[in-house]
Chains A and B, each alone.
Chain A
Amino acid sequence: MDSGLDIDQATITGFSTGDEKAFQQVFDLLFRPLCFFAGKFTGQKEEAEDAVSQAFHKLWIHRAGFNALPAIRTFLYTTVKNHCLDLLKHKAVVDHAHHNIRISQLNADSFAESRMMQAQLLQVIFAEIEHLPAHYRDVLMLSFVEELSVAEIAARINKSENHVRADRSRGLALLRASLKNKKLLEAALLLWTLYEQGYFHR
């Protein structure tokens, strides 16, 4: 059983021999969790995306050395983590002009492991939103992705604000419930299906 998602072996083989399409599949799969992870260090969207694009660049350089998704994932998270720590270190150097600001590596690592776990869990959780009953899903997506206020959503779907609020809460509760009786492997397959359907694409 793998952690949330998998890619078929043919894709991995294509990946390591430099097939750009296969490489892009890996990118699409891991892009959001990695950005989210990087964002926990940088606190800043563009820096997080920078860290991730650079990690994928490194992965591209070393692509021939990988033959399984878990190794690719560990490599990417590690690279993003190191990049972010370097970034923070440079900021510290710059801010304090040569006084040694030490980012505790110990804390950084425990922090990184926590956030990596969070990113991977969120990926399974958020993938499930697609499977909610339509109106719950719509309320959630309008609310979080399009960032509409409760009033705006109410106007858009022609319902009362209280109704929208209730649906939003209920949508999240349903989300959890719908994952309840799924084994993780199923969730993984589901995620893969969604991915294939283009849910994670741009």
Chain B
Amino acid sequence: MQRKHHLLLEDYLQDPSFLRWVREGIDDAGWEQWMKSDTEETRLAREAQLVLLAMDFKETGVSELETEDALQSTWQKINNVEAQAPVVKWKQFARMLAAAAVLLLAVGLGWHFLNQPQIREVATEELSEGEIAVRRNNTKTPVLVMLEDGSSVILQPGSQLDYPTVFNETERKVSLTGEAFFEISKNPSRPFFVYANEIVTRVVGTSFRIKAYSNQPDVEVIVHTGQVKVSRKNAVEAGSPQEISLHPNESIRFVRHEAAFEKPVIAAPNVTVPIEQLQFDFEDTPISKILETIALAYGLKVNYPEEVLKDCYLSTSLSDLPLQHKLKIICESAGGETRYELLGDQLTIYSNGCN
């Protein structure tokens, strides 16, 4: 390589060949030899060398794992924005949106709803302070929403979920317009409430579906596993919720113009939402099969090392658990170095075999 001579110290500080020699000890242009002579030029180069040695910078120690975590959080962030309305950061703004939603509702449903005094208190009013995420599914396929507590929600097209980015310590509250399937992470000391139109559904840890489109006459709650309690919203607000208990495979309908619940009935099997038809009780099932089931249920694309996992079988029941719990159990049961990564709708399993 040709050695360049410079008239300015600054020029040496940005000469790639010179930098390589000073900083990395790679001498590809005979610098070492040349610097032995004492001329105006070498004196300048020597000054530059000292400046460079005195002006190093130690980058912060960040492990590869930390970088990978940060990348994953970035994808999560992107996910929160993509495919639906932008994340609304401040409660004030969320209120304005709620007010706008009320207006639409009022126009759509006629005068008798206008006469309801409680009608202004829809949606985000009930949520706790802090950052409120507004997640609207404008796509044609269901979208998976992961909540901070590990619960997962499958949000149907045209539906919206408002939720705090961090729940408060005593309770978890979200607000739904439209239809969603919930799998709630178990935590008896932090009950989970779903506000949907005129009704409130309270759960501890279970899975269920709510249908609460603002332009339909009924609100419907369908329990999949566990137990939930439903009540009218204004009864909850008055402090005397008359709760109706629902058990697995039961559903209840709230007739909006009568402002009353019908009697619970046995739910008709759902044919539109795959997760409710799939079985999550596995007995001696290949991990690959379990992963395919999960991919189908949550609308994910799954990548896993087929060869490595081909002899891995699991017996486990995952029915009642949110997605992240399911994945955690699968990875832990497989053992070894098995772990998962969820980026958007891409689920990747890393493993070097099972125990």
Instruction: State whether these chains interact.
Output: no
- Give B residues with C-beta under 8 Å from A: none
